[in-house]
Structure 1
Amino acid sequence: MASPVPSANGSGAQNPLTRLRLDELRQRTSVKWRKHPPDVLPLWVAEMDVPLAPPVADALRRAVDVGDTGYPHGTAYAEAVGDFAAQRWAWNDFRVERTTIVPDVMMGIVEVLRLVTDPGDGVVICSPVYPPFYAFVGHADRQVIEAPLGPDLRMDLAALDEAFRRARAHGRRPAFLLCNPHNPTGVVHRRDELEAVAELACRHGVRVVSDEIHAPLVLPGTDLTPYLTVAGAEDAFALISASKAWNLAGLKAALAVAGPRAAADLVRMPEEVSHGPSHLGVVAHTAAFRAGGQWLDLLLDGLDANRALLATLLAEHVPSVTYHRPEGTYLAWLDCTRLGSGSGQAAGGPGVVSDVAGPAKMFLDRARVALSSGHVFGTGGAGFVRLNFATSPAILTDAVTRMGHAVRAQHAPPR
């Protein structure tokens, strides 16, 4: 293990991102570390290179030691989220009775959409956006309607207005699937933007479902506005989890939260949905929200430092790539369009699209750095890559240095 180093907040406690060496990380069996060969640095999927937060690890050990591996019960998870939300986001009207446990955020989104929309109805999303929005909405027999982000990567309210009109004409009960903070851009929506969304949704009769899985990961300099705290959002829903902020994707549990005028809808959610979360997942997520705040603060310090480091590294090694500095999440949305059309193509024949194409394929093939390919994020994603900077400064430096070598080699004149 690395020796402790002072954190940015001066506490002397250790940055979680510096705790694990590359050889230790390669012992992991998760998809991040096993999808690609060992010579590839994986900066793609949303897993962090951190050990478990001590309060979470302690809670899991206690459960295992006493054989507490049965079915989840009670409202401890919702109570912990409510207290965390009040402390961090001034969400003081959070009500435990307007919540229910769901297996994970995406499954919760699907179940909420089944409550408030009908098969064939339109679901608006702001592209480029988290790729499973397309897949899960489609698998639920709803129709995706895109409202592309503006050039500044923030929501384009005119485009959203038009998308709501199309969704209203497309089906009886349309919905808007909001990503707050936004993945992949790292934009944290301002209160005035969300108020405008609520006004548009009310005008067009659109129900809003807000994915707030990255909500605890708002970086210094920005504040989060939970959608349900906005005037006009009383009939909306939010989905919340500790999955991203405490690296608990393998421990399934999330919380669906209803606004006051959506509570009756939430009551209609099938009881068997609550059977999906893992009891150990509920234990872990509850401990994270209840006692993981200090660890989270250290993580946010480390992510803030990596956010700045990434800007420096890109300017030095890959100046042709434009870095859209994220306000939240640990994801960087990199504009690689200036690299040109020779930066890799999709694999497969006509009609077959690889999940790695364009610049992401070039960086994987030539730099041995795995990034998420922008084209899978929908309209506006081609020519971009998403980079996960929740890793050690050493790994981040190595990865961007490799990327720079690959770009220079690609554009070097033939000998």
Structure 2
Amino acid sequence: MKYLILTLIFILSPRAWALKLELNAGVDADIRSYDNLIYKNKQKDFSYHSDNTYINFVIKQIVLEKAENSKMDVFVGIKNVGVDKTSSTVNSAYLNENLSFYPQINSPFINQAYAKVYNFYKEGINAYFGKQSYTLGQGIVLSDCGRGFDGLRFDFTDYLGINSAETFIFRDTNKQDNIYKIYGLNIQQNGFDGTWQAYFLNQKRSGAAEEINLSAENSNKNFAGIRYFTSKNQLAFDGEYVIQSGSSDEVLTGNKVKYKGYAFLLKGQWKQNMPLLGPTRTRLSYGKSSGDSGSNAKENKAFYADLGYRYDGVNRSGFGQIFSASLYDVFRTSDTANGLPSGISGLNIINFGFDWPYKKMLFSVDYIGFRAAENISNPGTFKIGTEIDIKAEYKLGEKFSLFAVYAYFNPDSALGSLKTVKMTSLAIKAKF
């Protein structure tokens, strides 16, 4: 808290106001109610309200007197992730992992505090020092999820014939106090009417942690990915493929286990005019991650990224309003690393969506199907379930929206004999 107070004192001081100061803020708040929410082999009703708010201060164009043609911006971001403090909420297995991801709940914390130095060392090179927000590609392998990474980053523009490149060193800590050291290189190059992105990421984790079908310590993972994205006329496409390698030590035996996984995500959308409806948009996504069959104790083929994108405040974010799946984990249906019943790993996900704007409204319908890649506990049983999401958005200008969502998830054989899960929510989003 003392760092927050000192930051505000500096920002509000006359010296700071003598410079160019920009502010932006946002509020996301929702009320959710679930029927038959799944946890292990039990189901129960559950309701809560949450909020995700932020305010960012940017002090711009600070002149660096001893550096030719170089200036500096200072960014400070303050975030609050809140949830109602009922015992059923605080002790909920569904929310426990989400809540523990952030340094504190129902109290503001600094999620960004960094300096950006323009033309660092030479023109075309920018440097970022401190706690900063960052997502690599589509977020399959790396995203701070609004919490911020400590470290430094350099970006290069039109350097050595490359349109843009960046290298970074980050540090992060999870709820078990495992320390992550992250090293990465990311290159972007325009070509074939779009943009190509290639990256390499090395992630070292101290201590022991549960992974898919593995209790691992001294983890050393590598992720190599390639992405292509484009938007032209009525069409847009975004595709990304990632290979996972590296190794860790199995906790009980000390044996070395090699990672050999992969994942990919393809997303497309196209706009068209339809009779009676007018302008509409159709969306199609297909994603897959490899699973582990358990046939080789010295290898783990289940793709799993500890620090991939999965949280948006208290709520998970992913495929499905209820299932909220990334390519390799889902909302907490069990105590496993990926949230699925023990023995299940890898996901095949297909998402078909349709958007219809009407005056100030936007109506959306999504169908999402989930299937496991491997199931050690029940071989041959791969169907996880399907979900239907229906959403209505009402826009009050460009910066304020109201949302109403109704969703239902039908569990299939891989989850056992369970009732349909239903969810209704009301939400607001504002930014200024």
On whether the aligned pair clears a TM of 0.5, the verdict is no
State which structure, 1 or 2, has the greater radius of gyration over its C-alpha atoms: 2
Relative contact order, higher structure (CA 8 A, sep 6+): 1
Scaled by the length of structure 1, the TM-score of the pair is 0.25
Scaled by the length of structure 2, the TM-score of the pair is 0.25
Write 1 or 2 for the structure with the bigger share of helix.
Answer: 1
Write 1 or 2 for the structure with the bigger share of strand.
Answer: 2
